[in-house]
Every structure is written in structure tokens, then in C-alpha cells.
Structure 1
Amino acid sequence: MDHPDHSAPREFFSGRAENRGRVFQQQSGLQINADSLILANLTEISGNSQVNLPFSALPVTEVTATELGVHHAATDADGELPPYIERQIDQDLRARVARINRTGEPILIVGDSTAGKTRAAFEALKECFSNHQVFAPYDGPDLVTSLPALVEAKGSCVLWLDNLERYIGPDGLTPQVVSLLRRTRTPLLSTMRAEQYRQFVPSVTHAASARNDEKNGLGRRILEQINAMVLPRLWAPEEIERARKVDDIRVQGAVAFSTHYGVAEYLAAGPRLYQEWTLAWGPGGNPRGAALVAAAVDCVRAGITHSVSRELLVSMHETYLTRVGGAILRPETIEEAFDWATSLRFGVTSLLLPAEQPERYKVFDYIADEFTRSNASQIIENDSWRQILEFAKSEHSTYLVGLAAERSGETEIAEEAWRESANRGSGKALLHLGLLYLNTDRESEAVDAWVKAAEAGESFAYTSLGIWQRSKGNTEGAIEYFRKGVESNSDFAIRGLAECLDTAEEAEQWWIKLVELEGEAENWFSLAIYYDRANRKELACKNFLRAAEGGYVPAMNNYGALIADDELEEATKWFRLAHQEGSLEATTNLAMALMDHGDEAEVEKLLKDAVSAGYFRACSILGSMHYRRDKHEEAKAAWILGAENEDEWSIYNLALSFEREGQTDAAVGLYRRIVDINDRAAENLGSIMARAGKADEAMALLERVKQSMSAKRLCALGSAFFHGGHRHLAKSWFAAALDSGHFHAGCWMGEFAFQEGLYEDAERYYRASFNGGHQHAASRMTEMMLSLGKGKEASYWLRLSKGLPPARVNRSLSGRKRRGKKGKK
């Protein structure tokens, strides 16, 4: 048996972005091309179920900070807010404002609740847009309805979106609306709480917990268009120093606590309000009032982001009060509870903020955000969900409750909420219902919901149907649906269609289309993957490099893997960059690149680091390195670890090790684990089965990989079949080996022909083997000539077999007249 080396093929690892995967999600089906958006049709975007408010812009000089959303803070005797302290972002903020007329660049300030972001934006508004008007829409539909007036203002009206997330939605702010505002140079000043921003644009380490819903999909795409400015909660030393110089007792008090809270945050009293709420639950406190606030917090968590009715809070709060003791706490009356919850603290704000509509309230944002951060795992009771859902039905806002319920695992509530929304004509609700049905094994209902969503004009439904067809293995059906989805330029449909088309020529145009639509480094990477799979290396390299230069880590690794054979030094540079960014695949590739010319200690450390971090594909490389150093036990230990974690090449090398040690049964068990994905395992297992006389199983394994075998391996398998007692199969493998240029097989073929009395065939095979460099073929010719009584010819071949020059020119059997019958061996 001729065994290959203990190693995986010397190929660098590449893949489809292990650090960051991109998958299809149930996102918005709304696909509006802002390049061709017609203002006359903008009202269609806002839907028919909303009340369109009149456009009401006011001069910037006439609006107050609190009117535009600045949190109430401690005021002086004249009711004035504390003086504004210059923040570190102010210079950059004003520079961006100055560019708006030229670039139309939207401005977004992100920070924790009460970090001072709205105040910073308001001060920039007053300073830079004093001659403008400002428009602060009520909600998303109000914004869309007012777009024509905003655009007609030709940059003289500032769009003010405090708490940007409130306006995002299929009937409100979309990526296309943002693009329209940018192109028409309409100034956009906006803010967003950090908690909301993180949910829309999660970090790599928290990507698994990101919200996966339609609104989040729209928000992510919008925020990717905007270079957000971050305003930290805690003030920088320079900001604190400026605050110290302000002659204002309120600011000085805030500075005293600046190591714990941001100055603006303290002034807004957010933490103190939260603390007061948490302390109010005990005897002698305000447990009923605290329960009212808890009910309002859960309304926000359940998707009711606008104000809620007094009636709902009263109905809900008993659940929370009972949970902590109920009547035994001697709770205050309901009127006293509302007075406590709505009363101003420190002249700043209250736990429950009265809304414009009578008898309606909204919890202070800081309270809801802080509770979510600190008590994210606390469930909302079913009774509360039910009451919130009934309230949402009366408000026609069940869609968002469905999203919140689905995120919380409340499937029944989500289904009921979305059914209600769907009955009111929401195609988006049908999209989500379809996914919910699919996840609860109601496939036919899922398909029906998506078909209805498509009929309602939700183009993303076609993408959902395409994904479903693809999951069923029906690629043609998936392609048909994806083609309908791409008509609305859905990036999900385009990606799905391109992936279904695989390496077909048409796929190229769709990958390029995706790049043109989004231009992200990840899409250049996907295009490069297509070229790589289509064996168009030059274009693959070009696009991997473009994505790598754009900072996309998987592309750095794949680019290095593609050029490593020809440009190892350049490849090593990219492997090292990707390794420094945390790519374990690149760490392993870097170790392989350095293996022949780098520091052995560094190579070993890299591989061990990758293994320790859970990248078990490095086990096969680490084991092979130990094996070449004759550290066979360490090699086997590395392969065992890799095999335990299903690393293909560790399993192969461990099996090969057992086979060479004579532990055939152990080797067979390991080969069988990977035989369907590893051609070498199929070869070796087939060889073992051939030697064991199990011809049928051997042939089933070997025929699959025959075309990829070397001539030497073909000959070795012929020998295995021969020793396994299958002479006829052995002949076919020896013939294949000889046809592939392995002349040692000629001796075997000559022997078979000689034994069968086919002497001329035998002579031809022996000659081919001898001419191919196998001197022992001359010995076999000598024996055959002697058995045929041809002494002179035998003498000729005998001299050749000993390396001596021939005495005279040989005459072959085919070159002389034959007499009599065929000879016998």
C-alpha cells in the first residue's frame, strides 16, 4: 500500500465570511428607488390607515429647546435651562452643517438617554440655521406626507428628527427617503439613543442577539447611509474643565458627580429618577405608583412606543403590585400613585410624562432603557401581554406589538397581533406571519401568507417564497420567485437569485447589480467568491483585493489564499492583517505560510492559539508539523482533538496513522466518517476493502474518485484487488495505470498475458515497462523466452536484466515466423 503523507492538501483555507455571516431575514419588502421617486406619489408610501397632519414648520428663532425634545432640566428662577457647555463634537458638528448645502449629508448624534445629544443638536440649529424654519414631524407618516413641502423649501427648512427610531418604518423613514433628502440638500438634524442604535447596528460580539425584524432591517440600511456622531455619556476632562468655569450652581452640582454621570445626564436626573422608582416598591414608599411605572415600562418593551392610556396602566398595574406583596404593603390610592409618578423631580422631569392627549402617559425614556439594560431577561407576564395587545388593537398598532412579542418568544401573542394587523390590510404582517408559521411547522399556511403578502404588493414576499423553495431543494422554483423579487431591486432577492444560479454566466450580472446597489465590501467579496468558483482567478483576485482594502476581514484571508502559490510574501502580509483582526482561519493560514521559512516557535504558537480559540481545522496542520519532527505521539494527540471536533483532515490523518500501525478496524471506522467528503479517505478505504476481498464495496468507493487518482495509485489498487482474489478487477486497474503512464503496471499486464498464453501481448507489455525504466521487466521477458524455448532471445534479455549491453539485435516474437501451436507456460 502506497500511503500519502500525513497532512491535509497544502491549500490555504478560504470561505464565505466565518466572522461575519450574511443570511436572509424577514425584512421590509418596501423597495422604493429614490432615484426615480415621484413626489406626487409620496402619500402612497404612508399608507391609507394614518391621519395626514398639515405641514407646520416654524422659524428656528421661535422654537424652544423643550419643544424640540430637549429633556427638562433644573431651571433657574426665570425658567431658563442651564447654560450650554461646549461639547467635543461641536466643532465637527458645525463643520458637517456647513457642508449640507454641498453634500446633503444627514446628521445623526447618537448617545445614551440624557447624554446631551438633543441639546447639542439644538444649539447647532440655533447657531447655523437662524434664518431657517424647522419642521419636527409627529411620526413617520407625517414626515412622508410633508416631503413635497420640505423639498420645495429648497434647503430653507431643517428637518428635525429627535429620537430617529420613532420615524423609521415602511410607512415612514426609509433608505430611499434618506437618499431623497440627501439629493435635494434638505438639512436633516437627528438624534438617537445608543440603546436603540445598538439594536439596529449591533457590534460583532453582540450580532447573535440583534433584532431580526422588518423595522430593524430598514433601520440598519438607513444608519449605514449616515456617519453617526457619538456623544459619550460621561464627559471628557476638557468638557468637565469648561463646565467648572461656568458660574452656575446647577452646573457646579453636576460637575461634582461627573465621575459617575454625564453632566447632562445628571442635570436631567435620569439615574436619580430610576433609583427613586426602584426604592418606591417597599412599605412606606409608593408601591402602587411604582407599579404604574412598571406597567408603562412593559408597554414600551412590548412595542407601544407612543403614549398609553391611564385606563391601561390602571388595569395592568395590579399584576405588578401583587407580585411584590399587594395589600400587605399598604399601597397608596390610585390618585396618589399618579400624582407621585407624574410629579416633577428637582424641577426636571417625572417618571410618567403626560402626553398631549388627556389621560395619556409615556414613561421617561431613561427609565425604560435602564430597565432593559439591567433586566433584559425579565419576562412580561401573559396577562400584561393580553392587555397590551387589546389596547394596541384599539390603536391600530398591533404590528409593532407582534414584533416585540416574537422577539420575546411569545408566539401566540405575535400571531394574534399580526393576524389583526393583516386583517387591516398589512402586507408586512403577512410576511411575518409566514415566517412564524414556517417556524411552527405550518408550511402550507406560511406559503399561503406569503402569497397573500405578494398580492398585497409586498415584493419581499417573493424573496421569502424563493428562500422556502430553495430550502426544499427546488432550485428552479426558487429562481422563479427570486426573479419576481428582483423586479423591485430587492437586495435579498438579487442575492438569492445569484446564489441559486451558482456559477452560471447570468449570476455574474446579479452579483454586479448587488455591488452597484449597495457598494459594500461584503458584496465585492461575494462577487469575488463567484469568480473564484467559476475559475476566473484574475477577477477573483481583483475583487477580493478590493473588499480587503475596504476592511472586510474574510476578503483579506481569501485574497491571501488565492495568491499564496505565486506571491507567498504578499499573501503572508494579508494573512497577518486578517489574523490581527481576529480571523482564526487567517491565523492558521499564516502559520502554513510561515511553516517553511518562518520561526518554528511562532508557527507552533499560531496553530495552538487557533486550536485554543476553537478553530479545530488547525489540528490537522499542527499534528502534521509534529509528525515531521518525529513527535508521533504529539501528532496523534492533535489529530485526536481535531477528530473529536469533526475536523476532516484530522480524522483522515488519524485513520492513516492507525492503518500504518496495523489497526485496520480503527482506521476503517474513521475513514467511513469522512468518506463522502474526502477522496483520499475513499481511496484508502477502497484499497482496504479490495485487499479484504470486498470487491463490490471497494468498487463503489473507488469508481467515484478514479478520475482524480494518480497513475501510481491506480497501480497500487490493481495490486490490492489482485491480492484480494479479484484478478479481473486487478487487470482493469493495471490497464488504467499503464494508460496513465505508470510503466510498472506493464509488468503486471505482461504477467497476466503470459499466463493466458497471449505471448505477443505479454511481450508488448514487458517492453513498455522496460522502456519506461523498469529493468525487472527484462527478467520477466527472459523467463518467458526460456519457457518458450527461445534461448537466444532469452540470452539477449538476460544481459539487459543485468545491465549489460546486448550481444546482437533482438528479434521479437512478432518479427519472426511462428510455427506450430501456442506454447504453454
Structure 2
Amino acid sequence: MSAQPHAPTGRPAAVRNIVSGGTIHGPVIQADAISGITITHSGFAGTLPDPESWPTAADLDPVAFGVRPAHRVHGHAPLPRYVLRDRDHELDTALGQARVGGGLVLLLGEPFTGKSRAALVAMARGPAGRRVFAPPRGTDLRGLPALLQGRPERYLIWLDDLDEHLGDGGLEPRLLAQLTALKVVVVATMREDAYDACRAQPGGRVLDLAHIVELAREWSPAERERVAREAARTGDPRLIGAVSSSGPEGVAAYLALGPLLWDEWWRARRADRHPRGHALVRAALDLARCGLTGALPMDLLLKVHEGYADVTGMERESAEDALAWAVERRHGLLPLLVRVTGDTWRAAPFCVETVSPAQELPDVPGPVWGCALEAARSDAAYEYADVAAKARVAFQRAADAGDTSALHNLGLLADSLGEGDEAERWFRRAAEAGEPQSAGRLGRMLAERGEGKAAEPFLEAAAEAGNAEAATLLGKLLRARAEHWFTAGAKAGNPEAAHLLGDLLLGKGDVHGAFDSYLEAAAARYEPVARNMGVIHLLWHEGKVADVWMRRAAASGDACAAGYLDPLSVDTVERAVEFFQDDAERGRGLDAANLGTLLEEHDRPDEARTWYLKGYQDGDAYGAFRLAELCQKTGDEAEAAAWYRKAAAMGHPGALRALGEAPAAEPRGPGDQSR
């Protein structure tokens, strides 16, 4: 970049013009034979601080005088070390000329290009001891010439964002001429848009007198190489992140925008701001902290972001609005969430790289770790062992802090890595600490290796907490124990035990075993077994024998047995259709295919086909199987085979046997034991 054309070295033309016309109203400027200019009292000096109180250029705190702060990192200075810019030599040359003859040096560039810091560092590189006046915006500067008149020292005036120091009482050509005559150096910065706007205004004529040095936002390869060397030398994570992640926005913007955007994102968690947008970015950030630093599917982010209990009011913001907020480029430069490809995303690198040194976020919640581990297990882009190692450290830290759910997570992690003994140890610790989910896992592990009795108290604790799987497994274990003791009671001659044993066996599908147990109870003249004997004979299609048993049971007051004899029970096709049709139409349960079976058996195959198809569409494999059987009957072998395959794909045993993919079932019947 080339410097803006400016007045030749020496006294600017504006000064020569001002003093060439004789008397000037306002501060009086008169030519003399020695210095060429004499400045009399202006009337404004009393409003300005004593120059002896001005700090030196080396003592200026960059943040206090215009440099935007970076994230603070323990063990490092508030700002990363300054890295030389390509324009620093030109800036030093311009300042050197201004120190000889006074004048205005203007550093021009877009926002967040590092203008303020480059200028302040350049001033500090100059002759030692020069004092600097940095007036607040709106300060009346007209008293400066009189204040500095006759002082042997040389001074610097620092006007960061020069557009805020123009206008009435601010810097204008005549005032600049007076300061230049005193060899005062005015150093200023200005944004490109403000420069363009001011040039079009009368107050912007002072810009014609400036020596302009332009500073680009995007850093050159040489500048980035210097950043990399400084990062390697100091180990400053802010510079390391800038090397790896800053792009066209430039290193300065990367460092300066980080704290601003971080603050905006963190405050957005409030219900009256952008809570869902905050949670969406937090999901991407937490997954990156887990080790998933690549592209993240939006489905995964949506799943994770709903789990932050400390973020309220998400129902007020749609997912679409949340995403739009997260991807908006702040200051036209950096978003919080970055699209990778398609519908995959990642947290902005500055977010990921600032959270570790800043330590501003809570620990990643256990459920987020669970999602990260699940994603790493199924996505070859990630090494599961690496994510698991990070998770183990996080869970151990949480467990040491008293989080009992972390004990359970350590058990799950060990189990996923095939560390059975380690998993059991963690599940036991968690269960003893009151974690019902761990009690359920431990109970299953014990049951699977044959320690059913030891498993029961753990399964019961989990079942009482609402764990359906634990309740089911506990019931199966108790049923097995009940069968053992009912068998013992039956062998000892107790007819009630024989009756109850028969019920268990019938529920398992062991019709012959159940019949034998019922027969023992009947032999002992145990009247309550009568209905069960009738049921067995109904299953064997021995209606007359069943009728005898049912009448006996009904006579003894068994209302259920009496129902079997009720002539109003389902005895017509239409009544049977009514029985199935309501749930079949609503797609509930198994009734659509059942209704089709009823209609087919009564010579209504076209209607049956409709209900079989609905059953299949509702997810019932039997519907597909019955369609295959129906096609087989009509001789459509190809269509039958297609439906058999659909039913087999859904796991239907009959279809698997029809395709020769499962062993044939053993025939079942009453044999010689019927009575």
C-alpha cells in the first residue's frame, strides 16, 4: 500500500498559508524573523491538563488508550506480544519526519486491523521521554498551542478514532498549523468508512494535510510467519490459535473480536435474548471439547443442545432463528457457528481455542459426553479411544468432586471398552451411592453370569426407580425362582403349588408341562384347577372335554369359566370383525393383520388383502407374511416370494422358514396325554 499524497517534509502548506495573510482572529499567529511564527495566548489553556502530567509514550497502557483487549491467559501478559507489521517501517519513517517538522500522521484501515496498537507501539519506539496527550472525545483542543508555547520538550498528541476529534473545538487545519509550528506530532487512527465520510464534510479538510499509512486487515504471509515464530517462542495460546485459525479477518481481528463475541454469546443464554442460539453454539463447543473438532451434523447439535438445564426460555426461539443468529458474522467478520459442508457445522475456532485458557465454561455435562462417545464410535473420522480417554479424565474429575452420576458414566465407558471388571467396579460404587441406573446395569451383569439372587436387590432398586428393563429382568428372575419353589411344593404333594406351576409353564408355552401339573392338582381334588384343565383342552380342540371342565368350574363360582360358556360370546363373523376393526383402523397393535386373517378364513380374500397391507404398513411383519401366503394360494409365486422376503426382513419366523433360512418348528399336539 502506498501512502496518501501529503505536504513535503518541513512546515505544511497550511501553516504557510495561515501566516501569510497577516492577523488571524482567535489564537493570534504572527511571523517573526527567527522562528517564523509566534503564538500568543488562546484563552483555552486552562481547560487542558499540565503537560508535565502527561504520560510518556513508553508508559501508555495500550488497552487504556484504545487497544481492544484479548482474552487473559494465566502466565501471560494481558496482551500478546506485538508482532511487527509490514507497514511499520513506513509508519516509523512518517513519524520520524513529523518529529523533525511536526505534522499529522494518520494510520488508516478497516475496523479490527490493529491500527491503535501499531500506532502506540510506533510512538514508544521513538525517542525516549516524549510526553503524550490523549484527550477524551469532545475535548476542546484549541488551547494546546498556547499551553505548549515556549516549552523545549517535544510532544505527541494521540487521537485514536480521529473522526471523534474533528469539528468545533477539534483538530482543524489552523490548529494543526499551530501545533506543527511547535513541532508537535499528532498521531491518529481512522476507519476507512469514517475517512470517506469526513472527506465529504468541511471539517474533514484537515485530512488533506495528513501523512497517511494504510494498514490492511488481512495479514500477509510474512506477517503470519512472524506471528508463528512469536507463538513458538512465547507459547502464548492466543498467538498459537491465531496462527492456526485466523483467516481473511486477520490476526488482530481474531484476537480482538474473541472477547467481544464470547461475551455476546455467553449473555445470550438469558431467556429474553437468544437461549436456543446460545445452546446450539454451546453444543458445538462442548462436542469440540470432547474431541469432535470436525464437521458435526445438525441432528447431533439439536440432540445435544436440548440438554442444558441451566439454559431457560428455549421455547421462545425457533431452531431456524437460533441458527440464523449463530451464523451471523459479527462486525462483518466472525460468526459463532461455521458451516462446514451441507448440513454439518462446527464452533468458530476462536470459541474452541479461547475456552481452554479462559476456563469460563462449566464442565461438559455427562449426557454430552455420551453423545460424543456414540458419535465417535460410529464415525470413522474420529478415534474412539482418544475421545474415551478424554471422557475418562472428565468423569474421574467429576466423580472426585462427588458427582455420583460420573461413577455411572465411568462404568459405561469401561463397559464400552470391554473392561468388564472395571465396569462392574464402577457400577457397584455408583449403585451403593444411590444411582438406580447403575444398580440396573450391575443387576444385569450379575444375572447374565448366573448370579440371579445377588442381582435381585440391585434390579429391584432400579425397577422401583422406573427402569422398565430392570423390572422385566427382575420379573423373569423371580419367575424362575417361583418355578423352582412351585416345583418343590408340587413334588411335596401341594396341589396349589402344582396349579401355580402349571400357570407358569403355560405362560412359557409349555402346554404339556402345564397339563401335567394341572393333572396332579386335579388328582388331589383341587377344585380351582378345573378352568385351567378346560383351557388346555380348548387349545387341543377337544371342545366336549373342555366344556365339561368349564361347567364344573362355573358351577364352583368361577366367573371366567362361565364366560367360556356364554352363548353371547363372539359367535358370528360380523361380531368378530367389530372386535378387531376399531383398533385396526387406527393402526394400533396387531389387529389389522388379525382382521385380515378372519376375513380370509371366511372367503373374503380381497378384503383380507387390504387389511394385511395395512398391517404391514403399520409395521406388523405378520401382515407381510399373510400376504405372501395369500399370493401362494393364488399361484403368484413371484409375488409370494417378494412378500416372504419383506416379512423375513422384519424378522417373521414363518417367513424365514418358508425361505429356508430357519429350522422348521417341531410339531406340537396333545399326544397321548389328553384326557
What is the TM-score with the length of structure 2 in the denominator? 0.33
Q: Which has the larger radius of gyration?
A: 2
Instruction: Report the structure, 1 or 2, having the larger helix content.
Output: 1
> RCO (CA 8 Å, sep 6+): is it higher in 1 or 2?
1
